[in-house]
Amino acid sequence: MFGKFGQKLSNIFTGKKLDNNTLEELEELLITSDISYDIVCDLIEKIKSQRFNKETNEKDVKNILKDELYKILSPCEKKLEIKDTKPFSIIMIGVNGSGKTTTIGKLAYKFASMGKQVSVIACDTFRISATEQLKEWTEKSNTNLISKDKSDPSGLAYDGYNQSKSRNDDIVMIDTAGRLSNNESLMAELKKIIKTINKISDTAPDETILVLDGNGGQNSIMQMEKFSKDIKITGIILTKTEGSSKSGFIISLAKKYNTPIYFITDGEKISDIREFNANNFINNLLEL
């Protein structure tokens, strides 16, 4: 069974010779599928170079599209590997509301279910309810919350990291306040948190993960650009992917940055998180 995209594709490609008209129709179809325009142009060029003036059916085109997208995306399909460094430290960064705290909650649960000992440091001291929100998640996953009212985020990160170390935790995750990358003082604060824990351990933070809203479109591309100017981002988590948007922007990000995409999340429940799979993502994107 084809999804909508597959059906439309078979309407365009009827086994006739591929000409400019069919290519134009394909371009329009690809643009509606949430793939960024730069990538659409590349895909059209690829199909043109392989099939122009040749009899072409929907299956030929589908295979080229899948292959080309897979070439771009598959290098980003990497597992988040928890190394033996104790504690293995993960900091989550991103704009307001992208899903950092919720994702930390889900990961704490996931790691705890794998038998790991986990602490979470509530470094979003900016929003009063943020610690409360994290507390609920750590209670659900039976993991340890480290928080301190009215403390400054980097001081708390420092103390929290040390506490986690003395508990002999396997993993420590650091939640941070949402911030726009053009807010210089908040960006400076983020850099300070990172620098501070790096004073305790050379490898810390072991992972710096940018959490991106899957519905963010071009805006998410800009966020990656801006955050990575100041901070070395080692991975991406894509949230809210169960919605109508298919997060096609991630193809452009993969092409430009090659950053691992560790997880996607698709709901608000604790188990709504899965490892990123390039094949599944492409099938969903192309509605195949």
- Point out which span in 20-28, 69-77, 158-166, 264-272 binds ligand GTP (CB under 6 A): 264-272
Helix boundaries (H) for the chain: 4-12, 20-32, 37-51, 58-73, 100-113, 128-141, 153-166, 184-200, 218-230, 249-257, 278-285
Which residues, 178 to 207, sit near ligand GTP by CB under 6 A? Answer: 178
Q: Binding to ligand GTP by residue 96, rule CB under 6 A?
A: yes
CB of 146: closest distance to ligand GTP in angstroms? 17
Prior bond of 153 cis (ω within 30°): no
- Point out which span in 58-66, 100-108, 160-168, 277-285 binds Mg ion (CB under 5 A): 100-108
Q: Which residue, 62 or 100, has its beta carbon nearer to Mg ion? A: 100
Residue of minimal Cβ distance to Mg ion: 101
Number of residues that bind ligand GTP (CB under 6 A): 20
CB of 264: closest distance to ligand GTP in angstroms? 8
Name residues whose C-beta falls within 8 Å of residue 132's C-beta, 6 or more positions apart in sequence. none
CB of 100: closest distance to Mg ion in angstroms? 5
Partner whose footprint covers residue 248, from Mg ion, ligand GTP, none (CB < 5 to 8 Å by kind): none
Partner whose footprint covers residue 267, from ligand GTP, Mg ion, none (CB < 5 to 8 Å by kind): ligand GTP
For 175, what's the count of Cα atoms within 13 Å in the CB-facing half-sphere?
A: 34
Per DSSP bridges, beta strands 14-17 and 55-57 are antiparallel
First vs last C-alpha separation in the chain: 8
CB of 274: closest distance to ligand GTP in angstroms? 10
CB of 33: closest distance to ligand GTP in angstroms? 21
CB of 120: closest distance to ligand GTP in angstroms? 12
Note the residue count of the chain: 288
With CA atoms as reference, report the closest residue to 174 among 198, 202, 150, 140: 198
> How distant, in Å, are the alpha carbons of 6, 13, 47, 206 from that of 62?
8, 10, 10, 39
The one-letter code for the residue type at 64 is: I
Q: Binding to ligand GTP by residue 140, rule CB under 6 A?
A: no
Q: Which residue, 148 or 256, has its beta carbon nearer to ligand GTP? A: 148
> Number of helices (H) and strands (E), helices first, in the chain?
11, 10
**Binder of Mg ion out of 22, 89, 101, 141 (CB under 5 A):** 101
Residue of minimal Cβ distance to ligand GTP: 178
What's the rounded Cα separation, in Å, for the pair 167 and 117?
A: 9
Residues that bind ligand GTP (CB under 6 A): 94, 96-102, 124, 130, 177-178, 239-240, 242, 265-268, 272
